[in-house]
Amino acid sequence: MKNSFLSRPSAPAQALRAITALMLREMATIYGRSPGGYVWAVAEPLAAIALLSLAFSVAFDAPLLGRSFVLFYATGYLPYMMVQDVISKTGQAIRFSRPLFAYPAVTLADALIARWALNTTTHIAVLALVLTGVEALYDTGALYQFDVMAGALAMAAALAFGMGTLNAALIAFIPVWERIWQICTRPLFVISGIFFLMEILPAELRALAWWNPLIHVTGEMRRATYASYDAGFVSAPFVYAVALAAAGLGFLIFRALRWDVGQA
């Protein structure tokens, strides 16, 4: 039985069962087979943040905000990596779940949502663990605004789903796109506000940097962490518009090309 892009053979409850099953399968496949499992999901960003903090603490007397290099780079690096990693994982949803599309109960939408939901949840948990550890080990003086932090994570999650969906569509028809995306987005590590604040840039560069949705995410995360930081440049509507446009374009590509996931 063929399984088209948005087909659903029964009630929404079946969609929830399919998504849950796909998430459990990915947990067992990705984290259950590697030594340490979820430990590496925490250890890798911790190592990156530690190296950044060590390198910049040698070059500078104090971070641009607060008094902890570790917290400053954690609030930039963790949301950035959440977006980038979830985009990558969601974009690979078709390849990862391809054998299951032969079953009528599993649709492409299920595969996209399952990959996005699991990896988003994982990154949020990692962020919570890292920030808790930083607060336990250092006197950061941070005053967290958890409602603002939730907004930053919501922007990150929406952007990751939108761009991940678009990447999944492009990779399905242009497999080399996955490699092109990886190459083209490498500069984002430098220009997404991990190492600097938007406000220190010259006016011309600020105008260009504003169009990078990731800098809005890192800016909002730092506004949630530092009471003295306003991040007035952040525009949540812009980030959500980019996310919606990317997801919509991804869905349109699947529709327009009439791709049947049962034949993939």
Helix axes 108-137, 12-26, angle to 10 degrees: 50
Long-range contact set of residues 96-104: C-beta below 8 Å, sequence gap at least 24:
96/26, 97/22, 98/261, 98/264, 100/22, 101/3, 101/261, 101/262, 101/264, 102/3, 102/262, 103/3, 104/1, 104/3, 104/7, 104/9
Which position has the higher pLDDT, 5 or 98? Answer: 98
Confidence of residue 121 (pLDDT cuts 50, 70, 90): very high
In angstroms, the CA 11 to CA 236 distance is: 34
What is the overall mean pLDDT for the chain?
Answer: 86
Quote the pLDDT of residue 32: 62
Quote the pLDDT of residue 12: 73
Share of the chain above pLDDT 70, in %: 90
DSSP 149: H
Quote the pLDDT of residue 33: 60
The average pLDDT across 185-202 equals 94
Q: What is the pLDDT of residues 151-180, one digit of tens each?
A: 999 999 999 999 999 999 999 889 899 999
Q: What is the pLDDT of residues 53-108, one digit of tens each?
A: 777 777 677 789 988 889 999 999 999 999 999 999 999 988 888 888 777 778 88
In angstroms, the CA 134 to CA 62 distance is: 17
- Least confident stretch, 125-129, 135-139, 188-192: 135-139
pLDDT over 70 (residue 6):
no
- Least confident stretch, 41-45, 132-136, 210-214: 41-45
Structure tokens, 102? 């032969």
Q: What is the pLDDT of residues 228-237, one digit of tens each?
A: 999 999 999 9
pLDDT over 70 (residue 35):
no
- Least confident stretch, 90-94, 102-106, 110-114, 206-210: 102-106
Confidence of residue 1 (pLDDT cuts 50, 70, 90): very low
In angstroms, the CA 81 to CA 115 distance is: 16
pLDDT over 90 (residue 250):
yes
